[in-house]
Structure 1
Amino acid sequence: MDWFTAPDYWLSRLVFQRALAGVYLVAFLTAALQFRALLGARGMLPIPRYVQRIPFRAAPSLFHLHYSDRFFAACAWSGCAISAALLAGLDAQLPLWGGMVLWLVPWMLYLSIVNVGQTWYGFGWESLLLEVGFLAVFLGNDEVAPPIVVLFLLRWILFRVEFGAGLIKMRGDACWRKLTCLDYHHETQPMPGPLSWFFHHLPRPLHRAEVAANHFTQLVVPVLLFTPQPIATAAASLMIVTQLWLVLSGNFSWLNWITIVLAVSALDVPGDPPSRPAAPLWYEIVVLAVAALIAYLSYHPVTNMISRRQIMNRSFDPLHLVNTYGAFGSVSRFRYEVVVEGTADEVPREDSDWREYEFKGKPGDPRHWPRQFAPYHLRLDWLMWFAALSPSYAGSWFGTFVERLLENDRDTLKLLRRSPFPPDAPPRYIRARLFRYRYTNWRELRETGACWERTFVREYLPPTRLAGVAQRS
């Protein structure tokens, strides 16, 4: 009997690999379509300026060797092409070593992007994609059956994702322990989805049951991943159902989808596995060496996870090989939004013709119903949610964002749903105001057609114009 492989997991591996390639494709597409305004040479946080400050050893990236917007675009679109090839199954048509190299390329490209992505890429699912993508390199193709050790390492990631999130909730906000967090969460989450309004208005006893079920799924079920089948399959299936519930309730980029992908790798799907030769010795040595490296690098993530001062979403090595995860250790009770407006008036007054910029995903016009964007990641919209929590989250980029709006910068405007000014007539002044948003109730929705009601709180940014530019007549 081949001790190294688990032939019965051939179908789980196949689905896992194709689904992971799909997540890679979305991630690279997001980078290709948004990078110029965020990270480009004239972006809000330019990569050339960043790589001058941060050494290669601290953030390994191809862009330390060379950067231009054209080169970044080539890397991002190449990542899309390779991801599409993996999604189509090209790795299965190559020899084992060739398939491994093909999986290694998107990991290296995306690592290069994340390590220079700064605030725009400071989300846990970036590291999660890199950690999962690295292990996918060693999962093999049709030449060998799935290696047992890699399958268990994938479960180890899934365990840390779920268990870490469960611990951070129990240690964090008291509403998780009181089972009341969902009284607020659907309304205050970073980017609501089209069904979030309805989830918010579910009966409160059901919200309590949801929180209790979440605690069970994140604190008890992950342990069952390491039990014999069919218990492990049942545990993974329950996680998949829970993640699909989260997909329906909000826009969390590809966090839920990649968690589902991880859970798929733990499923023992019935069926006769195809006959395959034993794994070559060199492959066994490489896989076991990687497993030893992962075990060694797991020390700090595990220490953090069991610590009373647990932190969320942290990488402990520059290659993002083993990370710590967690989400919503605290839940906001009120929703605040930064509303950005411009005017063409020569003198900005309160009664000037202020026109509002509309974002694609974040709430703006109270009558604009949220749309589904996940797994696509609207990075500017997410950072605007953080900016509303505290101006300190926006200190590094918000001023440049306003400057680009005053210039009617084409790449920046592409990140928005709508600009109220024509391309050849930018605003003279931009201002930002902070509003409190709340969901309307059923009666208000019927009477006004608005899903939100908003109340002015304070000025966020006073009327601002481009410095050193004469007023236009």
Structure 2
Amino acid sequence: MEWFEAPEYWLSRLVLQRAVAALYLVAFVSAALQFRALLGERGLTPVPDFLRRVPFRASPSLFHRHYSDRFFAAVAWSGAALSAAVLLGAADRVPLAVAMLMWALLWVLYLSIVNVGQTWYAFGWESLLLEAGFLVVFLGNADVAPPMLVLLLLRWLLFRLEFGAGLIKWRGDPCWRNLTCLDYHHETQPMPGPLSWFFHHLPKPVHRVEVAANHLTQLVVPFLLFFPQPVASAAGLAVIATQLWLVASGNFAWLNWLTVVLALAAVDSSPVAGTREYGQVPPWYVAAVIGVTVLVLVLSWWPVRNLLTRRQQMNRSFNPLHLVNTYGAFGSVTRLRHEVVIEGTDEERTTESTRWREYGFRGKPGDLRRLPRQYAPYHLRLDWLLWFAALSPSYAAPWFTRLLHRLLENDPDTLRLLRTNPFPDHPPAQVRALLYRYRFTTWRELRSTGAWWDRELVGPYGQPVSRPPADASGTPGTPDTP
């Protein structure tokens, strides 16, 4: 079985599996803490409405059998508990078959959430976590040596992720080819981090080097992942170094962290950790690994065809199980940053002197003096979708008006997604949204004002919404939900 076993990767497998479990934990906790406002029975895009429109075969999920907010919470917290157990090593203390069932259950639980998550889960890293999680089911535990076939499948996933992202950039915005995209990207990316201001102000020649290094890492290095050692290890380490640079420069949920984890499948850990002896490999396990290898090869037809076409799509799943997907990001880079700012007032009738108070969000820019925070790998879904909403109102059409109505109600689930509520004692009478252009301040402006951002009003973002007048008893009306 020398062709099947790769004991020299035992430490890489150990770290890879524990890291995937940690990212599952983050994903399940994120779902548990945010779903009521976004997807719950009174959410912005309720799951029950989605389930009435979409059949099981198009979006397999446990919630097709039953949905309630309590059941969703049970699924999310059960996934978090199981993820934590695996992170602490539970899957290495049970028989191989039980360990595989544990990993498979994590995959089923998270697939059930993603497949009813609608626009809030329409991110490439959701499919990436599901595809990686599915492959980890077959990576074994402490009872068997790491199977080389699964390590190669993980490298193939990393190849598609990196090469697809490189191609979408090279074929897309001309600024990637003339090496100028990072003159804008650090400032206009969806959710800047605490170092993004400093990255933006790096000298322009450094930005050119950044883009060139990105092209090298995404268009050349992925091929080296399949070379003999130590070339494959060097390629994996190059991917890791590049991804850690991206972690430092912004917030992309668990995309960069999971890419780092996948790169471990190419790193031979034997020079620092040696190898281990394992017992005989069960025939049924060999058959399962061969079976999943054949499945991935067959399903690879669609993403490979997508990579080779000039009309390449990014972040698409070709099947409802999110297996063997195509990836890519930032084929185009925005030059200007726009932000939707939501304000409220407790005045029934507004005038030019009306005092509007601004709602604060956790991750997206708002307060000019507030340094962007580091949230990744945690995923602030509403903040991300508001970045898309600023690009075009059509992104937010299904849920934005409902969000404003929830703020008019001081809905506690919605307010928990925000950083500050300017109306803690009573709901506002009116809520409105404005569109601003944001830019990073210069070094001189930062020293003189203490502000990281400067902004300029573009105009209103839709129509204000107001609470219906009080009834005869003096009880405020409840806004209708669109």
The corresponding residue for 2:446 is 445
| Alignment partners' CA distance in 1, 2:141 and 2:74 | 27
Q: List alignment gaps of at least 5 residues for structure 2.
A: 477-482
Report matched runs for 1:168-179 at 5 Å: 168-179=168-179
| Alignment partners' CA distance in 2, 1:273 and 1:238 | 24
Q: List alignment gaps of at least 5 residues for structure 1.
A: none
Q: SS at 2:342's partner residue?
A: strand
Q: SS at 1:226's partner residue?
A: coil
The corresponding residue for 2:455 is 454
Q: SS at 1:457's partner residue?
A: strand
Superposed CA RMSD in Å reads: 1.1
Q: Is the 8 A contact 1:348 1:463 kept in 2?
A: no
Give the residue type in structure 2 aligned to 1:291.
T
Q: SS at 1:8's partner residue?
A: helix
| Alignment partners' CA distance in 1, 2:229 and 2:349 | 71
Residue by residue over 1:320-352, the C-alpha shift from the partner in whole angstroms, topping out at 9 and shown as x without a partner, is: 011000010000000000000000001023321
Task: Tell me which stretches of 4 or more aligned residues in structure 1 moved more than 6 Å.
Answer: none
Q: Is the 8 A contact 1:237 1:263 kept in 2?
A: yes
| Alignment partners' CA distance in 1, 2:159 and 2:470 | 56
Matched, 1:280 2:306: no
Give the residue type in structure 2 aligned to 1:160.
R
The corresponding residue for 1:99 is 99
Report matched runs for 1:26-425 at 5 Å: 26-269=26-269, 270=271, 271-422=273-424, 424-425=425-426
Residue by residue over 1:194-248, the C-alpha shift from the partner in whole angstroms, topping out at 9 and shown as x without a partner, is: 0000000000000001000000000000000000000000000000000000000
Q: Is the 8 A contact 2:253 2:375 kept in 1?
A: yes
| Alignment partners' CA distance in 2, 1:260 and 1:365 | 33
Give the residue type in structure 2 aligned to 1:158.
L
The corresponding residue for 2:480 is none
Shift of 1:272: 2.6
| Alignment partners' CA distance in 2, 1:433 and 1:226 | 51
Q: SS at 1:211's partner residue?
A: helix
Give the residue type in structure 2 aligned to 1:118.
Q
Q: SS at 1:361's partner residue?
A: coil
Give the residue type in structure 1 aligned to 2:114.
V
Residue by residue over 1:110-153, the C-alpha shift from the partner in whole angstroms, topping out at 9 and shown as x without a partner, is: 00000000000000000000000000000000111011110000
- Residue 472 to residue 228, structure 1, CA distance change in 2 (3 Å): same
Give the residue type in structure 1 aligned to 2:439.
R
Shift of 1:2: 2.5
| Alignment partners' CA distance in 2, 1:466 and 1:266 | 58
Q: SS at 2:143's partner residue?
A: coil
Q: SS at 2:403's partner residue?
A: helix
TM-score (norm 1): 0.98
TM-score (norm 2): 0.97
| Alignment partners' CA distance in 2, 1:192 and 1:90 | 36
Give the residue type in structure 2 aligned to 1:452.
W
Q: Is the 8 A contact 2:135 2:150 kept in 1?
A: yes
Give the residue type in structure 2 aligned to 1:61.
S
User: Percent identity at matched positions?
Assistant: 67
Q: Is the 8 A contact 1:340 1:356 kept in 2?
A: yes
Q: SS at 2:141's partner residue?
A: coil
Give the residue type in structure 1 aligned to 2:343.
E
